[in-house]
Amino acid sequence: MGSKAPDIVRQLKFVIDRVNAAARSRPPHLQGKEPRLVAVSKTKPSLMIVEAYTSGQRHFGENYVQELVEKSTDPQILQNCADLRWHFIGNLQKNKVNKITGVPNLFMVETVDSEKLAMALNNSWGKLSRGEPLRIMVQVNTSGEENKSGVKPSEASALALFVRDKCPHLQLAGLMTIGSYESSTTATVNPDFQCLVQCRKEVAEALGVAELDLELSMGMSHDFEHAIETGSTNVRVGSTIFGARQYPPKPDSAASGAASEPNPSSASTSASTAGPGGDSAKQCSSTDKVEVAETELHSLSLNSS
Ligand SMILES: *Cc1c(COP(=O)(O)O)cnc(C)c1O
């Protein structure tokens, strides 16, 4: 505590400017739709959401079920943010599906990683008879880290086909990944992002749709510009807008809540422990993703003035 409240409006503008600049510097075959900024508000108070909404932000992301339920039904938000669109971006257990589908203004569930979960969402959403299908994304574990959720890259097409063929109340919007923190900070071209691009290619072929009809959700505070330059259409930015997160001290360990939190510390600890089946090497070998690799990355000189 003790740090003063961040100037959300100013920081939001700053991020939007950077999003737009990155979008302009995309290679021609990735130009087109403007990338969507999802403001990740987890652990932050409703008041900050209202503030961001009032200055024009519409898409918000949360990754804890209970927190999303509480914020989305908070009178402050219901009264002031009628057009807000919620993205659920956390681990979702099947027994919590009804809580999520009941969220007012739920726009998308980005983290579908099994047929069972897809079917549970489908059935739950169908019962609500909302008219339009619920948008979902298939989460892909591009980094192969055990502490990350998501299907293996090689399994993405099968799940996408399942959603199309067996889940009439769901609409597959695209693919989502978190990726490893290491890849995002050390590689010139993030292999996990390339992996998701490659996955989309395969999924689009399997579905018989155009690649650009499927969105890519990738990129967070520290790498969203790079993500956009490699084809992201949906970036999830939290701390750069709302300030660093402070988690309440956990009674015993930091482990329980950390599983779904893609922060550096949790990512680096368990990555190397390859248990049974944990050695399934990354399916995306990152050697022949020529299309993306050719995209020389402009080192954007970001002046914050
Ligand atoms: C918290 C979170 C983000 C945002 O992280 P920042 O580094 O604060 O931008 C993005 N995606 C997911 C899935 C998250 O849980």
For residue 107, what is the enclosing H or E element? Answer: strand 106-112
Task: Verify whether ligand 1 is closer than 6 Å to residue 149 (CB atom).
Answer: no
Range 62-69 average pLDDT: 98
1 pLDDT band, cuts 50/70/90, is: very low
**What is the C-alpha R_g of the chain?**
19
Contact 60, 41 (CB under 8 A): yes
In the predicted model, what is the mean pLDDT of residues 1-11?
72
Which tokens in the block code for residue 263? Answer: 């922060």
Answer yes or no: is pLDDT of 116 > 60. yes
**Is the C-beta atom of 219 inside 6 A of ligand 1?**
no
> For residue 72, which amino acid is it?
S
Q: Which atom in ligand 1 lies closest to the alpha carbon of residue 40?
A: 4
In this predicted structure, what is the pLDDT of residue 298?
35
Residue type, position 181, single letter: Y
Query: Partners of 37 in the beta sheet?
Result: 235
Cα(142) to ligand 1 centroid in Å equals 16
Distance 242 CA to ligand 1 centre (A): 11
- Which ligand 1 atom is nearest residue 220's CA? 9
Question: Which amino acid residue places its CA nearest to atom 11 of ligand 1?
Answer: 236
Q: What is the pLDDT of residues 255-265, one digit of tens each?
A: 444 344 554 44
Instruction: Tell me which of 44, 89, 142 to substitute to probe ligand 1's pocket, judged by most ligand atoms within 8 Å of the beta carbon.
Output: 89
Amino acid in position 118: A
218 Cα: distance to centroid of ligand 1 (angstroms)? 10
In this prediction, residues 123-131 reach a mean pLDDT of 94
How many CB atoms are located within 10 Å of the residue 165 CB?
9
Dump pLDDT digits (tens) for 147-200. Answer: 999 999 999 999 999 999 999 999 999 999 999 887 777 768 899 999 999 999
196 close to 159: Cβ distance less than 8 angstroms = no
Q: What is the mean pLDDT of residues 222-245?
A: 96
Of 93, 87, 292, the closest CA to residue 199 belongs to: 292
Cβ–ligand 1 contact at 180 (below 6 Å): no
pLDDT at 287: 39
The Cα-based distances of 73 to 104, 236, 238 in angstroms read 7, 22, 21
Q: Is the CB of 221 under 6 A from ligand 1?
A: yes
105 secondary structure, DSSP code:
T
Q: Among 106-120, 141-155, 157-171, 285-299, whose mean pLDDT is lowest? A: 285-299
Residue of 236, 246, 263 to test ligand 1 pocket, by largest number of atoms within 8 Å of CB: 236
Query: Is pLDDT at 55 greater than 70 in this prediction?
Result: yes
Residue 222 alpha carbon, nearest atom of ligand 1:
7
Give yes or no for residue 224 having a pLDDT over 50.
yes
Contacts of 200-207 with CB under 8 Å at 24 or more apart are 200/174, 200/175, 200/231, 202/156, 202/157, 203/138, 203/156, 203/157, 203/160, 203/175, 205/157, 206/157, 206/160, 206/161, 207/157, 207/160, 207/161, 207/164, 207/172
Which residues are CB-contacts of 55 (< 8 A; sequence separation ≥ 6)?
8, 9, 12, 13
Cβ contact 107:85 at 8 Å: yes
Does the pLDDT value for residue 304 go beyond 50? Answer: no
Q: What is the mean pLDDT of the chain?
A: 84
Residue 178 CA: nearest ligand 1 atom is 13
Q: Which residue has the higher pLDDT, 278 or 114?
A: 114
What pLDDT is recorded for position 262? 53
243 lines ligand 1 (CB under 6 A): no
pLDDT at 111 exceeding the cut of 50: yes
- Flag whether pLDDT at 89 surpasses 80: yes
Q: On the CB side of 261, how many CA atoms lie within 13 Å of its CA?
A: 19
Distance 90 CA to ligand 1 centre (A): 9
